[in-house]
Structure 1
Amino acid sequence: MPKMSGGRAAVEALRANGVDTVFGLIGSATMELFDALYDAPDIRFVGVRDERTGTHMADGYARASGKAGVIIAGQNGPGVTNLVTGIAQARAAYSPVVALAGALASGHVHRDAFQEVDQMALFHPITKKTYHANAAARVPELVNEAFRTALSPRRGPVLVNLPRDVLAGEAEFDAIRPSGIERLGAALRGDAGHIAEAARLLQGAERPLIVGGGGLKSERGQKAVLGLAEALGVPVAMAPGHGDALPFDHRLNAGQVGPRGNDVASRLAREADVILALGTRLGFNSTFYSYDNVNPDAKIVQVEIEPTALGRFFPAEVAIWGDAAAVADELRAACGPCDGGRAWLERFLSDRAAYLEAREQTADPHRTPIGPETMFKALRDVAPADAIYTMDAGTLCLQATEKLNYRTVPALFTPLDFGLVGFSFGCGLGVKLACPDRPVISLHGDGGFAMGAAELATAVEQGINTVTVVMNNQCWGAEKAYQRDFFGQRYIGADLRNPPFDELARLYGAHGIRVEAPGDLPDALREALGCGKPAVVDVMMDPDALYSFRRDSFAHRAKA
């Protein structure tokens, strides 16, 4: 290949790795890279208003597509530090985000130069690995290493620092080849002895339960786990945030488990005598690390692609290092029906049907301001079967995760263990670009939506037609609930004054709708879904409909 700049070599490396969408914000440190993107019509550049929300877009794109999401922070210093929250979020979600970061010119390092910060040290704790290019000739090599690292199990974010002199420098390159990550070998299968022991435990159980997690969802393992569940006759619960790992309407789908799940699935975990944990750490959101949420006498069979997760929080009777879907297939071949669990299964099916019926009945179509259950029922009734939902953190979104129906996998993207407010809108834009033919509905509280509202400009400019539902209760709901329930209603910093978000949307060129009456919700949602533009539905929610999720954290303040 002819001599080229480091910036052009970076773009050629992206091309070689099949990248067709890049998010970013330009800056003077990376002008050679952006100039090369100008000559790459096969790569769509999505210019964002803030590097944090751009990283959420790359995160959503990665999780929805199964490919790496790419974000460029064009400016060293402040441009790169703006990535921190988004990269930490991606790390918590095991999301393969590749960040290309402008960096200080090599000769200015350690001189208190303009916009100098130690970017290697800053990102080391929140990435799988952070690389630094010290010569133009090494740029493609390091970009390839970033893709290999981000996409290899367990996946996660990677950052490549690209000094401005390296991007401007020239070198002669051999043919720039892809990383080869797509040619990794077959899924890791379980040890034969462990498979046999796990099959024995499952078939002998009287109260068996499968708990699926992100490992099933990220590898699209629903067919494997459903095949196993059907062969055994065992209910399947999901870790919170992964309620879409199985289609909602499958009879064995118990929904999400644990203190942030539903009562039926959570009872199963507290009473099961054998738990098969497939692709899940049994971590904080599923268990609060407490035997209050897991039967202490249960025999746990845990399957994880990350060996350090095996038995980490709860001792495993059988620990299987392997790919969740591949091991589920192996277990299916080794197992027959779980005859001793028939009564357990019948009780589950009855309880689940009653739970879903009660969920429908709790919505009050006449309650004003609008209650959460009414909001969620309207979404269940109106949203198409292939709808994708993105969620923020916060009290209303935490309630929503178990109140919606996820029929087409994948369909739910949340901040997971990072609990990030301000995530959903940006994530939804990235998800929509990965899945352009599916409707994407992003749920936010009013505080969280305001954090990223400037990306309305990005949505309009790029024609990314998501629907954002702002559940507007004029407060930071989770914190206000704690102040109400545990701090004697001593409210400080909890209440918010917002602009009319429907009007704000229209000022940006998007479609805006305000909803105050519950009867108007279904038509407003249909209008937003069909308007052919980015849409914001500003729903006036009951400010008193708050719930304290982390009651365990404030038990010391609870009154006897």
Structure 2
Amino acid sequence: MVKITDVEAKTMSGAQALVKSLKEEKVKDVFGLIGSATMEVFDALYDEKSINYIGVRDERTGTHMADAYSRALGGGGLILAGQNGPGATNLVTGLAQAKLANSPVVAIAGSISSSHVYRDAFQEVDQQALFTPITKKTWTVNRADRIPEMVQEAFRVSQEGKKGPVVLNIPRDVLSDIQDFGRFKSPSEYRSESYPAANHEQLSKAAELLRNANKPLIMAGAGVKWSQSQQSVISLAETIEAPICTSAGHGDAVPNDHPLFAGQVGPRGNVVATELAKNADVILVLGSRLGFNSTFYTYDHLNPNAKIIQVNIDHNALSRYFPVEVGIVASAGTVAKQLESELKNDRVVSTERSQWVRQFKINRHNLLAQRAEEGRATATGSIISPKQVYHAINSVMPSDSMFTLDAGTLCLQANDALHFRQSPSLFTPLDFGLVGFSYAAGLGLKAASPDRTVVSLMGDGGFGMTMSEIGTAVQHNLNTLTVVMNNHCWGAEKAYQRDFFDERYMGADITNPRFDKIAELYGAKGYAVNDPSQLQSVLADALHSVQAGHPTVVDVQVDPNALYSFRKDSFKNRSK
């Protein structure tokens, strides 16, 4: 067989052309699970030393790794499902998650031989139909000579405009077919790096609204992170003296230690940021849809009389849930720079605006002081509260830390409680509300950013779903620090049963092993915390363990009664 390492060779298999195309895309890491449908691909990867293969234990968790990897680097996260049928169907949850997070994951799935389609063949599933609703686009490659073209299209589509996951289904006969291939193109030849901007009329109107505002507020969303425009948003906020809040799940859009940072807004956020949104007269929304987790689609968390300027790369996001005064289809970072340039010479700030910012800073200071007081460890022998866990993490973890969270009541509280000092540093399931995301996402982050500290926070239920990936962490030196808040229950659901179903508990309680001991059996390091006075010292030891090159799991026994019903709106029809 022709070796892919021969740079002059043009005759190669479809699988070799696939790997060559991935190399042209500067893919450095491939997450995958080996399967017979793609053995040609694995054989081609064997020869390509520039691509690191990370074998996972489940295609779902591998997709979460690729998801977080893509969010950290702006793209390039790739999952290879080696087996058609069950290997491919295991991608579904991860891809649905990535779609609602607008994460540019590229998935390659093996598929049955072309001649076996529609014959009820072994492990036959209509993968094209399966993936189409949960991806930005899905293709089934029908000819080997089109593989380079379709790989290019997959990466382009996943990363352009509103980002999202894509799938290439490739039949095994296409992968093994030998063809003559021409020159492989580099990404610069078929992908544009330009970013849309506001036109003169839009810019003038938005600037005038901000110029005349007495209570301006900037709301930063995912678009700020995707466009890497944190500094542009800060410069604009400093220029116009406006507080910055963020949409839910994007509390890292700007560094949290900036004096104008207010935290996340809405039901997943804090009272200070939400009060700003409820009282602002002009709200500049940069890269956010004002979606469900930030607003619940109501004015409960927004001033109904505020004039909204909304900037989003996706035209469909503008005015979708709330009417806007100015809607701009553009990059959040580009418009932030335009507005800063337009307003930088306006140095006259109204007395009311100065008071608005002054009062916000007082309120923010008081909130942080209250959280610190609630989080300090109490006397030995007391029960560990989630607030104490968050406070200890904030106290111990370095400023470069990246955090992954699950859904569920404990992690939802952590969304706004943790400190995010470098962007990007917060990775959550976002709108899919997925339990079982955090641990695998942390491994993907560590692969993407090996020099940064990665902390995965999750409940015992979600960790139990995904702890087999400890083996992946150990095998591939993905040294993350995982904190399992172990309350021996499905906390969100138990809270609903407590608050709305007369404490008629069914299926809410679970039995767990010692997760620190499970970690040790895999060859990782394990720690256990049963007392709040131990939290900071144990987390410091765990951090040293990670820095010494060991994947580390900390089992923290938290108060099983520290539950909170986030979705009270869902049970308005019930009373105790």
Q: Structure 1 length normalisation: TM-score?
A: 0.98
Superposition map of 1:496-515 within 5 A: 496-515=510-529
Distance 1:181 1:488, change over 3 A: farther
1:76-95 deviation digits (Å, cap 9, x = unpaired): 00000000000111111111
In structure 2, what is the Cα distance between the partners aligned to 1:465 and 1:482? 36
- Secondary structure of 1:375's aligned partner: helix
Superposition map of 1:407-422 within 5 A: 407-422=421-436
Query: Is the Cα–Cα contact under 8 Å of residues 152 and 181 in structure 1 kept in the other structure?
Result: no
Correspondence 1:46 to 2:54: yes
Instruction: State the identity %.
Output: 55
Correspondence 1:118 to 2:126: yes
In structure 2, what is the Cα distance between the partners aligned to 1:229 and 1:547? 34
Superposition map of 1:168-317 within 5 A: 168-180=176-188, 183-317=191-325
In structure 2, what is the Cα distance between the partners aligned to 1:201 and 1:553? 37
Query: Is the Cα–Cα contact under 8 Å of residues 473 and 542 in structure 1 kept in the other structure?
Result: yes
Question: Residue 185 of structure 1: CA displacement?
Answer: 3.7
Q: Which residue of 2 aligns with 1:357?
A: 369
In structure 1, what is the Cα distance between the partners aligned to 2:66 and 2:516? 26
Q: Which residue of 2 aligns with 1:341?
A: 353
Question: Residue 181 of structure 1: CA displacement?
Answer: 7.3
In structure 1, what is the Cα distance between the partners aligned to 2:249 and 2:211? 29
Superposition map of 1:104-115 within 5 A: 104-115=112-123
Query: Is the Cα–Cα contact under 8 Å of residues 68 and 150 in structure 1 kept in the other structure?
Result: no
- Secondary structure of 1:489's aligned partner: coil
Deviates more, 1:365-374 or 1:420-429: 365-374
Question: Residue 530 of structure 1: CA displacement?
Answer: 1.2
Deviates more, 1:444-453 or 1:549-558: 549-558
Question: Residue 63 of structure 1: CA displacement?
Answer: 0.6
In structure 2, what is the Cα distance between the partners aligned to 1:242 and 1:555? 28
Superposition map of 1:403-552 within 5 A: 403-531=417-545, 532-552=549-569
For structure 2, list consecutive stretches of 5 or more residues without a partner in the other structure: 1-8
In structure 1, what is the Cα distance between the partners aligned to 2:508 and 2:218? 40
Question: Residue 519 of structure 1: CA displacement?
Answer: 1.1
Question: Residue 182 of structure 1: CA displacement?
Answer: 8.1
Question: Residue 11 of structure 1: CA displacement?
Answer: 0.3
In structure 2, what is the Cα distance between the partners aligned to 1:182 and 1:344? 48
What is the one-letter code of the residue matched to 1:348? F
In structure 2, what is the Cα distance between the partners aligned to 1:515 and 1:177? 54
What is the one-letter code of the residue matched to 1:487? F
Question: Residue 557 of structure 1: CA displacement?
Answer: 1.0
From 34, 41, 44, give the equivalent of 2:42.
34
In structure 2, what is the Cα distance between the partners aligned to 1:369 and 1:55? 36
- Secondary structure of 1:167's aligned partner: helix
1:407-435 deviation digits (Å, cap 9, x = unpaired): 11111100011110000010000101111
Query: Is the Cα–Cα contact under 8 Å of residues 247 and 406 in structure 1 kept in the other structure?
Result: yes
Correspondence 1:60 to 2:59: no
Superposition map of 1:38-187 within 5 A: 38-180=46-188, 183-187=191-195
What is the one-letter code of the residue matched to 1:290? T
Question: Residue 333 of structure 1: CA displacement?
Answer: 1.4
Query: Is the Cα–Cα contact under 8 Å of residues 206 and 326 in structure 2 kept in the other structure?
Result: yes
What is the one-letter code of the residue matched to 1:176? F
- Secondary structure of 2:79's aligned partner: strand
What is the one-letter code of the residue matched to 1:555? K
In structure 2, what is the Cα distance between the partners aligned to 1:333 and 1:554? 48
Q: Which residue of 1 aligns with 2:4?
A: none
What is the one-letter code of the residue matched to 2:556? V
In structure 2, what is the Cα distance between the partners aligned to 1:447 and 1:362? 26
Give the total of aligned pairs. 559
In structure 1, what is the Cα distance between the partners aligned to 2:220 and 2:534? 37
Query: Is the Cα–Cα contact under 8 Å of residues 287 and 294 in structure 1 kept in the other structure?
Result: yes
Question: Residue 184 of structure 1: CA displacement?
Answer: 1.3
Question: Residue 178 of structure 1: CA displacement?
Answer: 2.6
Question: Residue 259 of structure 1: CA displacement?
Answer: 1.0
1:480-529 deviation digits (Å, cap 9, x = unpaired): 00000000000000001011101000000000011101111112111111
Q: Which residue of 2 aligns with 1:378?
A: 392
- Secondary structure of 2:299's aligned partner: coil
Cα RMSD between the aligned structures?
1.1
Query: Is the Cα–Cα contact under 8 Å of residues 14 and 177 in structure 2 kept in the other structure?
Result: yes
What is the one-letter code of the residue matched to 1:423? F
- Secondary structure of 1:402's aligned partner: helix
In structure 1, what is the Cα distance between the partners aligned to 2:268 and 2:415? 9
In structure 2, what is the Cα distance between the partners aligned to 1:191 and 1:386? 37
